[in-house]
Structure 1
């Protein structure tokens, strides 16, 4: 099976490459749009059986800890829909499509759950609480999975998402972020993909 691995930035791609030179990995950019366009371009240039969105993420308090490996069961775009006086209406309620894609298990050990794909990271306790309440199965948030999954779906390719936790979701405190630990965990987790 030929697997394409995409990351947002080069530091994540380097962590994946450190697991094995056999892994085919490319950074495609930060955010849903860059991830979708970059992944679609790579899928158009080669023949792949699956694509994996890999990188670091924020973990929901009580569901994932810094350094943990999380494997997506679904990638969800929690902002795709409409705000209303009665609360947020997902795009499914509006009848315009789906806000999620299923993800395969990948055969990697870790915590399984939904990974939310956001346009901007959550930086307040209120925002974290609101997302945690709306998505009780969510373990993490990142910024690329839904875009990668969209490209994979349109190309008829299987999709998976693998993240390692660099920080906890909530009040923005950059002194508590642990990029090094998350990147080291990403290298270790990707060794299980080979």
Structure 2
């Protein structure tokens, strides 16, 4: 609950939550699970830049207490099988930096920027308990992984990575700029690695996303940011 002062009285209300998905199909999957008016869902576009711009615009127009990046994702096997849910305890951008003769250097090792945002730990635990989602690192990439070599490289650099998607870090950057906590919840639609569209289970992942939000909505609506 969020504490408010109205006419000298201390009152409580449910927090306002903004859920940012990439595309309308993900937005609709989340919306199907929601019954109240305290959680808003928007489609912000594909990729971190579009996600950051649209999320920042939404936050500038309406005050929110929490932002959630949500949608489907590729899962690193075998930890995040197709159809499962993952919740980020770290939202990390995987390809912001420089390629060198010694390998990839994240932007932080170049002396500026940030590469990781950490959601509220208590809320991550609560969502994992409510939904059965596995907590871990969710990577944000600008180019989706399409080879086994690339998947192995990412896992070597990020051994706790469970999934990769394209918007979480952009949503997180916008949220942090507005002083709002951020989460990321993903349903796995395909393995990270060689592109095999016959193995993708987008419909199953969208159904898992709906089911997951049905279970986590009460947690989000009762969350008190002042308890963190």
TM-score range, shorter chain: over 0.9
TM-score by length of 1: 0.97
Please tell me whether the aligned partners of residues 73 and 187 of structure 2 are also in contact (alpha carbons under 8 angstroms): yes
Cα-to-partner distance string for 1:27-86 (whole Å, 9 max, x where unaligned): 010000110000000000101011000000000012200010100011111111111111
In structure 2, the partner of 1:166 is 189
Cα-to-partner distance string for 1:81-106 (whole Å, 9 max, x where unaligned): 11111111111111112111112317
Please tell me whether the aligned partners of residues 108 and 193 of structure 1 are also in contact (alpha carbons under 8 angstroms): no
- State the alpha-carbon separation in 1 of the partners of residues 198 and 143 from structure 2: 19
Deviation at 1:107, TM superposition (A): 2.5
- State the alpha-carbon separation in 2 of the partners of residues 144 and 97 from structure 1: 17
In structure 2, the partner of 1:75 is 91
Please tell me whether the aligned partners of residues 34 and 217 of structure 2 are also in contact (alpha carbons under 8 angstroms): no
In structure 2, the partner of 1:12 is 26
Deviation at 1:21, TM superposition (A): 3.1
In structure 2, the partner of 1:28 is 44
Please tell me whether the aligned partners of residues 69 and 167 of structure 2 are also in contact (alpha carbons under 8 angstroms): yes
Q: How does 1:22-171 map to 2 (within 5 A)?
A: 22=36, 23-104=39-120, 105=124, 107-109=126-128, 110-171=133-194
Partner SS state of residue 4, structure 1: strand
Query: Structure 1 regions of 5+ residues with no counterpart?
Result: none
Structure with higher Rg: it is: 2
- State the alpha-carbon separation in 2 of the partners of residues 173 and 21 from structure 1: 36
Deviation at 1:24, TM superposition (A): 1.0
Please tell me whether the aligned partners of residues 16 and 190 of structure 1 are also in contact (alpha carbons under 8 angstroms): yes
Partner SS state of residue 107, structure 1: helix
Please tell me whether the aligned partners of residues 106 and 193 of structure 1 are also in contact (alpha carbons under 8 angstroms): no
| 51-60 vs 18-27, greater mean Cα deviation | 18-27
Deviation at 1:143, TM superposition (A): 0.2
Query: Structure 2 regions of 5+ residues with no counterpart?
Result: 1-14, 219-228
Cα-to-partner distance string for 1:98-146 (whole Å, 9 max, x where unaligned): 1111123173231011100000110000000000111001000000000
- Could you say what the CA RMSD is over the residues aligned between the two structures, in angstroms? 1.0
